[in-house]
Chains A and B, each alone.
Chain A
Amino acid sequence: MRIAESIARTPIGHTHFWERAMSRRLFLGTTAAAGGAAATAAMWGPLLVDASSVDPTPIPETIFPGTPFHVQFPFAGNELSTINNFKGVVAVAAIAGTGTVMDAAGTRSRFFFDSDQRFMQGTYIGAKGQRHKGTFGFV
């Protein structure tokens, strides 16, 4: 769920946040930042990999070539699931709208939001190669 500041100060269009915010340039720039974290993550790899035998594995596709993020835009023609070796129901809803935020003092203001909500429910092969059933939510 992505929130933009006050409607009064920030008029924006109706193109989805994936298109507005997730440019290839952003992803590639973020990938450079992620490189350091990836090196760190490698040090902790055994601990993370051993987290659970029922953990799913990510789809092979990435948002853009050369980036590490295993997700695709929520549009026709793309892989809508985020987990691999999966068969089952996938539902995707990318919705933009408005709302009200209230701070601790009780002051209310308006905002824009973009959301990409998905769920996957079915059978999958876990990280250790065994078949499982489950429901996964994407937020």
Chain B
Amino acid sequence: MHQNQTNDFDLGIHPYPDGIFWTVRMPDHVAEADVDDGTASYRVKGLKTPDYGSLPSALAGGPSVPARSSFDVEWRGPSVPASWSTRDFIFSGMQTQATISWSASEAGATWKSDSTGQTVESAFVGIDRNGVFR
């Protein structure tokens, strides 16, 4: 996609380049899950997600413009158990389906996703244990 990419909204890397990747602390109420059922929700409004323009620019710590995103991700649907592990972590949960409704805005433009025609390439809900909790 990056050859034709026009926008890249993400949370940045803190500290750059080897810190926490595209991840920030959020209020507990934005997310909930029932691992046994393979269901979850993740709902955020007005999150600051700078637009780096492209993935290469984002990964290079390039310039960004202010932008905000809102999204509602729902995990539900047919699910099957899924688990795997390495010496560093254990994941055990469900592989399931998911949908997303999102919008984003920055100076001069507003984006909104379609609710239909989505392709789920990966959807998991589970318990992860890593590091000292492995």
Q: Which residues of A contact B (CB under 8 A)?
A: 1-5, 9-10, 12, 14, 16-17, 20-22, 26-27, 29-31, 33-34, 37-38, 41, 44-45, 48-49, 54-61, 68-71, 74-77, 79-104, 111-115, 117-121, 123, 125, 134-139
Contact = CB atoms under 8 A, between A and B. Distances in A.
B31 A85 contact: no
A76 B16 contact: no
What does DSSP make chain B's interface, helix, strand, loop or mixed?
strand
B6 A4 contact: yes
Contact of B7 (A2, A10, A21, A68): A2
A120 B128 contact: yes
Interface residues of B, number: 82
What does DSSP make chain A's interface, helix, strand, loop or mixed?
mixed
A22 B2 CA distance: 9
12 contacts: A5-B6, A12-B1, A16-B121, A37-B16, A58-B19, A58-B21, A69-B21, A81-B130, A83-B20, A91-B40, A100-B112, A139-B11
B60 interface: yes
A94 B120 contact: yes
B33 interface: yes
Given A1-B9, A22-B55, A101 B111 contact: yes
